[in-house]
Amino acid sequence: MWMHFFWIFGHPEVYILVLPAFAFASEIIPVFSRKPIFGYSVMVAATVAIGFISMSVWAHHMFTVGMGPGLNTFFVFSTMVIAVPTGIKIFNWLATLWGGRIIFKTPMLFSIGFLFQFLIAGLTGIMLGCAPFNWQLGNSYFVVAHFHYVIVGGIVFTTFAAIYYWFPKVTGRMYNETLGRLHFGLFLIGFHLTFTFMHVPGMLGMPRRIYTYEPGRGWDIWNLIVTVGVFFQAAGVLVLLLNLVWSYFRGPSAGGDPWDAWTLEWSTPSPPPAYNFAEIPRVRSRRPLWDLKHPDDPDWRYE
């Protein structure tokens, strides 16, 4: 009973954490693809569906405790079902990229990294949602790797993208693009060294929640690689902090709209004045700033 109470909170919490990541990606990818987001209505519907279905998947964390075939079948089914709206969102983001004039600035690099890693996280989640497979790998480092593909590969990567995207608006200064790309490269290498290779000791039977183990089990080299990756990630975060501090004091002026974006915050000076807007803007579509820049352009595509 305690496990049920814990996971009925603990698993929907992950979806609550990932909702801002979805929002960041849905804001950044269209701007740097020079296209409106593909299938907006379907994207919203998928988000709502994830919110509802997420409340019925918690016990896929409990396949190894002996719930019985009836409950196992229900939670296998619900876990497979929630993959559908999640997959829809990934396809919508990919369709937004398709045919766009993609600009590979640092926010977009982190967003593309998110798309690949969140896809892998979803695939390993489907694997763990299959009860017989879960009986073999439940409570192993495979589960830890899957979880961190969601949290770090998804949420942290989009958070970095959001920091770089809105930093010019918040501070009025542009970040250093070279340092931003260095941060992306270091963190991407470190992430995959740590969490991609973490799947292997899980497949070899290494349990989670242990701090040491006997040598000779075949886990040593994989844990060494995992540890080396952490240093790359730490170096990437240090580059981010250096970039933010240097850019805050020495970065070039950002102007009001350095990205040629379409939402209203970019219509104000950077940083925005306390009163926000001198007069209330009129919103006629989902890209109000683009409408203000191009009032006679009926096309929803950037030119």
pLDDT averaged per 10 residues in sequence order, the chain, 303 residues? 89 89 95 92 94 90 90 94 94 94 96 96 93 92 96 96 97 96 98 97 93 90 96 98 96 92 90 87 83 65 42
pLDDT of residue 293: 79
Domain ranges of the chain: 2-293
- Distances in whole angstroms, Cα of residue 196 to Cα of each of 148, 243, 245: 10, 27, 31
* Chain center to CA of 265: 22
Please state, in angstroms and rounded to a whole number, the distance separating the CA atoms of residues 79 and 91.
19
The pLDDT, as a whole number, for residue 282 is 82
**Phi-psi bin for 257: left (phi > 0), alpha (psi -120 to 50), beta?**
beta
**Are 242 and 182 in contact, with CB atoms under 8 Å apart?**
no
Give the pLDDT score at 303: 38
pLDDT for res 288: 86
Q: What pLDDT is attached to residue 296?
A: 65
Rounded CA-CA distance 187/237 in Å is 8
Q: What is the pLDDT of residue 222?
A: 96
Cβ atoms 197, 222 nearer than 8 A: yes
Distance CA 57, CA 82 (A): 8
Q: Residue 27 is encoded by which pair of tokens?
A: 């804001």
Rounded to whole angstroms, the Cα distance separating 100 from 170 reads: 27
Fold of 2-293: Cytochrome C Oxidase; Chain A (1.20.210)
Residue type, 138: G
- Return the percentage of the chain with pLDDT > 90, whole number: 73
